[in-house]
Structure 1
Amino acid sequence: MDSCPFSLDTTGKDIHGEAAKLRSQGAATQVVLPGGVVAWSINSYAVIKQLLTDPRVTKSARNHWPAFINGEIPPDWEMISWIAMDNMVTAYGKDHVRLRKLVGKAFTPRRTEAIRPWIAKITEELLDGLAATAPGEVVDLRERFAYPLPARLVADLIGMSEEARAKTAKVIDMMVDTTVTPEQAQAVLAGWRGAMADLIAAKRENPGEDITSDLIAARDEDGSRLSEAELTDTIFAILGAGSETTINFFDNAITALLSNPEQRDLVLSGEATWNDVIDETLRVESPLAHLPLRYAVEDIELDGVTIPQGEPILINYSAVGRDPALHGDDPDRFDLKRADKEHLSFGHGPHYCLGAGVARAVATAGLSSLFERFPDIALAVPVADLQPLPTFIMNGHRTLPVRLTAPVPAA
């Protein structure tokens, strides 16, 4: 950290070490993103929580980032998909309220309860597939379980076919990869928008009991009309946010339990709950590291540092739960008995995750069923050998190789 601004490692090989170094620089410090774009990195719990509810902070590049408005950010910028979206995630003021109200109708407690049987069905199908492998065989649990469970569920929620989901999954993987080239970044933006346009066209022809059909029907309801761009980008945001974060949550939770057998014993014996596992995993290993981007609506002073109006802000969610100011001398330790498991992995304030209830339902069902069927599952490699995803946006592994013992017969 001898130079400033600091270039973030696009390979994501040491997200937590990098966060600790940046946190030591103060409330806000400048970092260089791909393409040479400079942003203000925020890595402490107190400042992050403050900014997530600060009305002087926005997520709308089209309204508050002069470099984007003036065309200084090229259309093939490596992170263009994150700022070019026109949906609830990037809306500001009344537009954000309008879009959040529409999308919120898709994530009611009633809908969460209604999809529990479907969560159980997908989970059992995946576990049956794992049970068919030979005992002791090495299996990539990310590919065979952590990935397909949330991906299939969210695709079903928006009414997307399996073929379309598989095709779009490749685009999402590239979108979160911060090592992509400008040419790849431009193809990613075109790819996911094309896929969503195809889905919307299909649902206009044959509407169903799904979120996409609901949003299409809601376009003219109560005067809260969605533009075509908002509709397209909102559906993609639901698909991406609902799948990628939960995939990495499963990856991180399973890794934590398998690399800390005494903690696994606590939950399997009933001394700790699956809610403890969920919150402690989200604290220690937030599945979302950095979420690009926010912007200063006006000058913001933070402990002697001023973020000038119009400059981008990068919130590091993976830094929150490991902040010693919040969690004392051992914030890096996975401890299910920890009394305070405070984290902000579902966000905070006006952008709090609408799908948090669904995510918890999937996490509880998936983890409890996996360890019930395979209580003696084990990592096939040392935890230090697991390779991180090539990104500073998401926090997970490229693969999760495990050995499955003979499964307990399904009930």
Structure 2
Amino acid sequence: METSPEPHRPDPAGGCPHADNARLLARGAVTPVVLPGGVEGMAVLGHDALREFLQHPEVAKDARHFTELREGRIPAGWPLLTFATVRGMTTADGEDHRRLRGLVSRAFTPRRVEELRPRVEELTATLLDGLERAAVDGVADLRRHFALPLPMRVISELLGVDEEFHLRLHQLTSQVVATGIEPAQAVAANRELVAVLAAVAASRAERPGDDLTSALIAARDEDGDRLGQEELIGTLVLMIIAGHETTLNLITNAVRALCGHRDQLDLVRGSVASWADVVEETLRWDAPVSYFPFRYPVRDLDLGGTVIPAGTPVLAGYSAAGRDPAAHGPDAGRFDVTRPARPDAVRSLSLGHGAHYCLGAPLARLEATVALERLFDRFPDLDLAVPEEDLAREASFVGNSVHTLPVRLGTSPPV
């Protein structure tokens, strides 16, 4: 008699996901998981299964479909609770989702994003100067001084968030996405994050500007049916997190990949591949988000021969799907910036798929492409200052990156 596979327990302390992903993919595209607190769920890992799941008409984002939460069996300090309960685009379905997405989508069209290029280039140049000044004996933390402040400043300027809030917002959002955090810390971080963003919204209400928060407040005040106060704060929470954490990890992971694969860096320098190719291959090979919570089948769902019961919280396994040999070939575990796109033109699912495809994808790609090109132009000999295996990981199985990235800058080329 065939037995069910032992549920996978994602490590709340984080860690590199790829060895576990390979083991799990070998036994199937969908696997049971046990989340912190003993909450039973599922993870969709295979590329094709995940693509189907992300656009399935009978899969919801609204937490009212989360059986254990609806029945009161999820405690207030559960570290993944914010992902389920924050009010905004990522937890809305149908007309609610279209309404909320419509309020912010015009700020992220490819045309509007391209108009941001000069500002992204200006910030990049300023931060590279700062990175060089921060170096001690030629070594600096690239994540802290470059990969973090670039997307944080860009999304903050779009939202009208003053610089005084930047560091604290990053600290708080890092706690919100942490999966090993203590219940009391989780509650306190969420409460403070809401308070800080409420203060930002109040400031913009008093002094409206040409920013997205001011536009959202105007929509709230003109027609409360379009955006309530809780949805306003929830939207700001989601945009701050998604607007900088994903790109922070993407830039960090791309630099690590290129430093560990100098032959691939040479291909870009020799114009065999582009910096955009580096970004796309990094999204596939080392996705900035590993397991993203949550979606819920509204009925029992058969996915690739595995039944996911209705009301089950399901993780989207982006890092696993990116290295799925069934989709990307037997060399899926190899970093290759010349890798051809799949015939269906979906190179990776790391920024989502379907109605909830990442609204900020064009901005993330722009920021990462500009950052990488300017970084390696400025510091052509840049390399890791410690071995890859010694880099401490982020304390989360949601995000996928390292906590710090000490690099040796080398010598800048003469101007």
Category of TM-score, reference length = shorter chain: over 0.9
One-letter code of the match for 2:377?
A: E
Please state if 1:262 is matched with 2:263. yes
Q: Is the 8 A contact 2:220 2:229 kept in 1?
A: no
Please state if 1:351 is matched with 2:353. no
Which has the higher mean CA deviation after the structures are superposed, 385-394 or 21-30?
21-30
Match of 1:77 in 2: 78
Please state if 1:18 is matched with 2:20. yes
Partner of 1:295, secondary structure, is strand
CA drift at 1:12 = 2.2
Match of 1:124 in 2: 125
- State how far apart, in whole Å, the 2-side matches of 1:163 and 1:130 are: 20
Q: Is the 8 A contact 1:28 1:43 kept in 2?
A: yes
> What is the alpha-carbon root mean square deviation over aligned residues?
1.8
Q: Is the 8 A contact 1:300 1:308 kept in 2?
A: yes
How far does the alpha carbon of each residue in 1:14-68 deviate from its partner, in whole angstroms, 9 at most, with x for none? 311111222233232211111111111111011100000001111111x211221
CA drift at 1:8 = 1.4
Q: Is the 8 A contact 2:106 2:112 kept in 1?
A: no
CA drift at 1:224 = 5.4
CA drift at 1:70 = 2.3
- State how far apart, in whole Å, the 1-side matches of 2:9 and 2:131 are: 41
CA drift at 1:352 = 0.6
Match of 1:366 in 2: 371
CA drift at 1:265 = 0.8
How far does the alpha carbon of each residue in 1:148-181 deviate from its partner, in whole angstroms, 9 at most, with x for none? 1111111111111111121111111111221101
Match of 2:112 in 1: 111
Match of 1:99 in 2: 100
Partner of 1:132, secondary structure, is helix
Partner of 1:395, secondary structure, is coil
Identity of aligned residues (%): 44
Sort the Cα spacing of 1:58 and 1:2 in 2 relative to 1 into closer, same or farther, 3 A: closer
Match of 2:7 among 5, 13, 21: 5
- State how far apart, in whole Å, the 1-side matches of 2:305 and 2:382 are: 50
- State how far apart, in whole Å, the 2-side matches of 1:6 and 1:239 are: 30
Match of 1:189 in 2: 190
Partner of 2:315, secondary structure, is strand
CA drift at 1:103 = 1.6
Match of 1:380 among 361, 385, 403: 385
Partner of 1:6, secondary structure, is coil
Please state if 1:285 is matched with 2:286. yes
Question: TM-score under structure 1 normalisation?
Answer: 0.95
Match of 1:403 in 2: 408
One-letter code of the match for 2:100?
A: L
Q: Is the 8 A contact 2:49 2:304 kept in 1?
A: no
Sort the Cα spacing of 1:223 and 1:190 in 2 relative to 1 into closer, same or farther, 3 A: closer
Number of residues of Structure 1 aligned to a counterpart in Structure 2:
409
Provide runs of 4+ in structure 1 moved above 4 Å: 133-136, 220-224
CA drift at 1:409 = 4.7
One-letter code of the match for 1:31?
A: V
Partner of 2:205, secondary structure, is helix
Partner of 2:249, secondary structure, is helix
Match of 1:33 in 2: 35
- State how far apart, in whole Å, the 2-side matches of 1:134 and 1:113 are: 32
How far does the alpha carbon of each residue in 1:121-144 deviate from its partner, in whole angstroms, 9 at most, with x for none? 211111112233568521111111
Q: Is the 8 A contact 2:155 2:244 kept in 1?
A: yes
One-letter code of the match for 1:89?
A: T
- State how far apart, in whole Å, the 1-side matches of 2:29 and 2:293 are: 18
Match of 1:43 in 2: 45
- State how far apart, in whole Å, the 1-side matches of 2:314 and 2:121 are: 39
- State how far apart, in whole Å, the 1-side matches of 2:350 and 2:170 are: 22
- State how far apart, in whole Å, the 2-side matches of 1:134 and 1:201 are: 38
Unaligned runs of 5+ in 1: none
Partner of 2:393, secondary structure, is coil
Sort the Cα spacing of 1:42 and 1:282 in 2 relative to 1 into closer, same or farther, 3 A: same
Question: TM-score under structure 2 normalisation?
Answer: 0.94
Unaligned runs of 5+ in 2: none
Sort the Cα spacing of 1:79 and 1:223 in 2 relative to 1 into closer, same or farther, 3 A: closer
Q: Is the 8 A contact 2:107 2:113 kept in 1?
A: no
